Amino acid sequence: MRNTFALILLVTSTSSFAQTAVRRYCEELPIDSTIRVVVPQYRSKTTTQKYSLRRAGRNVYDVFMNLEFRPARTFDGPAEERVQLNDRYKRAMNSCFRQFESTLKDEHDRQLRLHIYDREVHHLQDAPPLVRIDVKGVNHRSNSGAYARNIDCETMIHEAFHLLGLIDEYEEQWMGYNHNFFSLGFRPFVAVDSARVRPAFDCRAIGPSDSVMHNQWVLGRGQGLYSAHVNMIIYPHCQEKNEKYLSCARFAYRTSFQNNNGAIALRDCSKQVPEYCRNEDWLRVGRDN
């Protein structure tokens, strides 16, 4: 019979109950066991984690996401497409997951199999948390909460991993701060289309070129995932297992004093990034770390 661990929201770190939960999430999940994961964005200061995880074998983990797609006001598809949009995108996403399933492994041969949750098929005791995703027009730049109508498979997978807690690892080339000293860095981002606008998020740790979070379009031709990625997903509440990843990830969406046009900042992220985050090896950790 399948064992199921209920999610424990860690309200306090002082109670023995919470400490026991932390230790449990730092342990290997028994085969055929399932956990429901809800880690709010404020814990890691980067992304949220909302899914259910089942260990299917020694090196195989099934990850279930409960997604609901809905047309945004800027959706520019035909009227009949709006009615069937939710089912169509779920089917498309599941098809993408199967197409690239063999690539989603780390250097320790641990594999993540992604699924769109279907209660009629998966029969989990506790369904993964619901996540709603808007579908916008074809010119929209896709993110984890809003997809362009013509989103491709590789980008779907990249955005899905944001919902599992992973951060971007590419060098930002499209967005920067408007060069206005009085903006103090709070003005909206603008396109990096001139020498006057420096890229945003320049404190970000850059991943290997074949990482799905660095360049999703090389999926199928490279590693895809690395051990730090997998640890974040299979040990979701464990600071000990994910310490190195989290220490680099916290700077993924921060911009240096210089690139932010010298805007007032209490602490310049460029002086805070650990040295090991500047090397691509930050994503490679031991299996038992």
- Contact present, 105 and 225 (Cβ < 8 Å): yes
- Whether the pLDDT of residue 20 is over 50: the answer is no
pLDDT band at 5 (very low <50, low <70, confident <90, very high): very low
Better-predicted residue by pLDDT, 212 or 6: 212
pLDDT at 193: 66
- Name, of 8-17, 234-243, 263-272, the range with top average pLDDT: 234-243
pLDDT band at 287 (very low <50, low <70, confident <90, very high): confident
Residue 57 CA to residue 160 CA, distance in Å, equals 22
pLDDT at 188: 53
pLDDT digits (tens, 9 = 90+) for 50-84: 999 999 999 999 999 999 999 999 999 888 888 89
For tokens 């600071």, name the residue.
239
How does strand 60-71 pair with strand 49-55?
Answer: antiparallel
Residue 47 CA to residue 164 CA, distance in Å, equals 8
pLDDT band at 178 (very low <50, low <70, confident <90, very high): low
pLDDT at 118: 95
Looking at 149-153, 219-223, 267-271, which range is the least confident one? Answer: 219-223
Alpha helices of 74-226 — where are they, by DSSP H?
Answer: 79-99, 119-122, 153-163
Q: For the packed helices 153-163 and 79-99, what is the interaxial angle rounded to 10 degrees? A: 80
pLDDT at 4: 41
Better-predicted residue by pLDDT, 87 or 220: 87
